[in-house]
Structure 1
Amino acid sequence: MFPLWPLAALLASLVSLSIGTSFAKHLFPAVGAEGTTLYRIVFATLILMALWRPWRQRWSRQDIGPLVLFGLTLGAMNLLFYSALKTIPFGLAIAIEFTGPLAVALWTSRRPTDLLWVAMAVLGLGLILPWRGLDAPGALDPVGMGFALAAGACWAVYIVLGQRVARKHGVLATPMGMLAAAVLVVPIGVAHAGAALLDSRWLLAGVAVAVLSSAIPYTLEMYALRHLPKRSFSVLLSLEPAVGAVAGWIVLGERLGALQWLAMGFIMAASMGAAWSAGRGPGET
């Protein structure tokens, strides 16, 4: 029997993340993508620091380097993804970003069927490239797509580094990584948004973004990960682009065309297939 509550927790985390990120886009006119990233990282760091209290742990110099690199990657990934959201729809930005973890999954698997997942991902990306010119209806901004692809590359590095620091430090790796991310993001956000960041209206909205986009999803995902098989978790996580597209439609009024939905479907199917394939044992077919 499939565990109901862990499944519900994972789906709830996807919904919370998607709503929080969609809501974050409303802050762009006031503080920009950079200022919104600052809000998310800083407030999420404070919440996770208070929750896990990593200062009680004794840290060595050897611990700091990998954690800083992990956190800088996390900060860059958030900055790049929010920059992508300035010009392309939320659901498609997630789908493009998913090429990062997809690449990691394919790198760790050596099955002939992996070529199928690569072909599906390439086809999905090909369907949303602006082949007919930037002025064609529904054409995506190539700069925004570039930001999303760069965020995907950071996500791939984040997964590799995250596995290493998590094995050594467990849940404490996240607040420490977020602290390093804040060191990167804060100067950039302040330089872009300046005094607008201190406006009480945007501060409260920033707290909401951090709670919905980071604190709640992280807590629910940790619960789901402890109770779901890793392969099932990864496959279900591949639903995020579709959930994001629905949230973008409801919260932001972003409507995707049939071809864009098809492209997103190909990328999601590739992600699911790669996750399922990577989780099989050597003798399975």
Structure 2
Amino acid sequence: MRRVLDRPTASTISTTSPDAVPGRLAGVAAMAGSGLSNQTGAAIGALAFPVLGPLGVVAVRQYVAAVVLVAVGRPRPWAFTRRQWWPVLLLAAVFGTMNLTLYSAIDRIGLGLAVTLEFLGPLTVALAASRRRLDAGCAALAAAGVVVLMRPRPSTDYPGMALGLVAAGCWASYILLNGVVGRRIPGVQGPAVAASVSALTFLPAGVWVALRHPPTCGAVLCAVAAGVLSSAVPYLADLLTLRRVPAQTFGLFMSVNPVLAALVGRVVLGQSLGVPEWAGIGAVVVANAAALATRPRRDAAADHA
């Protein structure tokens, strides 16, 4: 949140009151561009699946994410203590697993459904510590949406659905680990090192894919575009956004990503969805939005800490 090490978080960015910062329209435009770029990148990456497979595409995306984050964060890993290293290594493992399971799910069940299932991760984190009845209702609504999406049908791909749920668990873990890393390591040095470690672990996979199925120029360009559009552009756009709008507003806007994913999947990949699927996606989106929109003010303020 994925969204995604390829996304900055409020814990690693110093935000200020939106009333004191000009250019809020620029922040809104950046949010829109970030979401659209992220989903378009995933769709373009899916075009390379027949040649590179999800593993090859994710490997290239990890390389791009590492280059971007190292350039921005300029980390000094030699100065890290053991207490700083262990959450960074866990973050690296979660980062790679999250993207691999998400792209594998996209390959099996389509972009819209995969991204919708993945969004259960941040929703679970948002609701886990809450005791409000409204949040219990949000959880029930999201669960109903998942039941609709995973209802038994001859065409139901349960392994693909399971991969989407694993990606959701990874995103939830990513959010929690990023909070730990942000408290222990200044700036984005931690995510930058985690992205680099993840990219290194994918080097053998990238070599294996290239030797087994020699990539075409078009497939490589699609994979690189996926890395740029789903890693570099969203990261830089979110840096801009989180300095101009409250983190709560940012989270609300992110909630529409499953809808964007379904629309992009339809336009770019020709993946059409029926009324029940749209209803399930809508239920998860509404649950996310309601949970974030009604968070106590003190919780929203904590996002800026």
TM (norm. structure 2) is 0.85
Aligned to 1:9: 30
Aligned to 2:114: 93
Q: Does the CA-based 8 Å contact 2:97-2:170 persist in structure 1?
A: yes
1:145 aligns to 2:148 (yes or no) = no
Q: CA RMSD in A?
A: 2.0
Further displaced range: 51-60 or 166-175: 51-60
Listed one character per residue, the Cα deviations across residues 1-39 of structure 1 (whole Å, up to 9, x for unaligned) are 892111110110000001100000011110100010001
**Residue ranges of structure 2 left out of the alignment (5+ in a row):** 1-18, 300-305
Aligned to 1:163: 179
Q: Does the CA-based 8 Å contact 1:230-1:279 persist in structure 2?
A: no
Q: Does the CA-based 8 Å contact 1:21-1:213 persist in structure 2?
A: yes
1:185-224 pair list within 5 angstroms: 185-194=202-211, 196=213, 199-224=216-241
**Residue ranges of structure 1 left out of the alignment (5+ in a row):** none
Q: Does the CA-based 8 Å contact 1:41-1:210 persist in structure 2?
A: yes
Further displaced range: 54-63 or 40-49: 54-63
Q: Does the CA-based 8 Å contact 2:52-2:215 persist in structure 1?
A: no
1:52-63 pair list within 5 angstroms: 52-55=73-76, 58-63=79-84
Shift of 1:109: 2.1
2:125, 2:234 → 1: CA distance?
22
Amino acid at match of 1:44: A
Q: Does the CA-based 8 Å contact 2:89-2:194 persist in structure 1?
A: yes
Listed one character per residue, the Cα deviations across residues 113-146 of structure 1 (whole Å, up to 9, x for unaligned) are 1111011011101111232x3x2xxx43111000
Further displaced range: 238-247 or 270-279: 270-279
Amino acid at match of 1:147: L
Amino acid at match of 2:168: G
Q: Percent identity?
A: 34
Q: Does the CA-based 8 Å contact 2:51-2:216 persist in structure 1?
A: no
Amino acid at match of 2:122: P
1:181 aligns to 2:202 (yes or no) = no
1:102, 1:29 → 2: CA distance?
32
1:147, 1:193 → 2: CA distance?
24
TM (norm. structure 1) is 0.90
2:230, 2:237 → 1: CA distance?
12
Amino acid at match of 1:7: V
Listed one character per residue, the Cα deviations across residues 131-189 of structure 1 (whole Å, up to 9, x for unaligned) are 2x3x2xxx431110000000000100000001111233222222111112223333344
Aligned length: 277
If each structure's helix is expressed as a fraction of its own residues, which one has the higher value? 1
Shift of 1:48: 2.3
Listed one character per residue, the Cα deviations across residues 42-101 of structure 1 (whole Å, up to 9, x for unaligned) are 122123223332148732333221111111101100010011011112011111111111
2:102, 2:190 → 1: CA distance?
22
1:41 aligns to 2:62 (yes or no) = yes
Aligned to 2:275: 258
Aligned to 2:101: 80
1:37, 1:279 → 2: CA distance?
37
Call closer, same or farther: CA 1:279–1:27 in 2, change over 3 Å: farther
Further displaced range: 119-128 or 174-183: 174-183
Listed one character per residue, the Cα deviations across residues 239-274 of structure 1 (whole Å, up to 9, x for unaligned) are 100111111111101111111111100000111111
Q: Does the CA-based 8 Å contact 1:35-1:197 persist in structure 2?
A: no
Call closer, same or farther: CA 1:13–1:58 in 2, change over 3 Å: same
Amino acid at match of 1:30: V
Q: Does the CA-based 8 Å contact 2:145-2:280 persist in structure 1?
A: yes
